[in-house]
Amino acid sequence: LRIARPQRATAGTMEYRETEQTEKAYQKQAAVFIASKRVVARSGTKAGKKGFRYYKSVGLGFKTPKTAIEGSYVDKKCPFTGNVVVRGRILKGIVISTKMKRTIVVRRDFLQYHRKYKRFEKRHRNMSVHCSPAFENVREGDTVTIGECRPLTKTVRFNVLQHEPSTNTALNVKKVFRVFKAEGGRLAALVPSRLAGGKPGEWG
């Protein structure tokens, strides 16, 4: 039996490589047809490099991260490179846990109106959010903007769209109460819904 040796890429050619294969299943982008990429493309040609990576814009004024365009990761749940459409609510919260793989826990604080005492009480909700590899170095205390999408897992229904690093790392994120205001019409105004004409406790 003769075993054919793999051809080495010369100076004028370039071999296509999807990503680092570290999982059991072969990782590839669903929108990229690999069979057509096996043909060696010339280095320096824009047509050959453009088809290697699939990315899109989620709209709503959010920019596509540079790592999503130039990176080599494969994530089918990523809103920029995967098969996920962002629609519905746009929220903002603080990251309190990053222990899971590609999933973070976001804390959202809000005020609940009490009819008997005519006061507002502090409340919060923790929600699991999918974090794409396009956002690097996401740590506890950072502020993220998340968008609603289709159910990705049993508890995940949101995706990270924007990341803002924290400036003060000394604060305990689980004890700080922070309510975010509206930004350019994308985020719902966090005002008591009783004053806005809605039911008490409703936000956005």
3-class secondary structure for the chain?
Answer: CCCCCCCCCCCCEECCCCCCCCCCCCCCCCCCCHHHHCCCEECCCHHHHHCCCCCCCCCCCCCCCHHHHHCCCCCCCCCCCCCCCCCCCEEEEEEEECCCCCEEEEEEEEEEEECCCCEEEEEEEEEEEECCCCCCCCCCCCEEEEEECCCCCCCCCEEEEEEECCCCCCCCCCCCCCCCCCCCCCCCCCCCHHHHCCCCCCCC
pLDDT for 179: 87
Choose among 113, 115, 125, 118: nearest CA to 191.
Answer: 113
Choose among 192, 150, 60, 94: nearest CA to 204.
Answer: 192
CB 126 within 8 A of CB 96: yes
Tens digit of each residue's pLDDT, the chain (204 residues)? 544 444 444 444 455 567 778 788 878 787 777 666 554 444 433 444 455 788 899 988 999 999 998 888 888 999 999 999 999 999 999 999 999 999 999 999 999 999 999 999 999 999 999 999 999 999 999 999 999 999 999 999 999 999 999 887 777 877 788 888 755 445 443 444 443 444 544 444
pLDDT for 195: 39
Vertex 114, ends 113 and 116: CA angle to 5°? 150
The token pair that represents 36 in the structure block: 């057509």
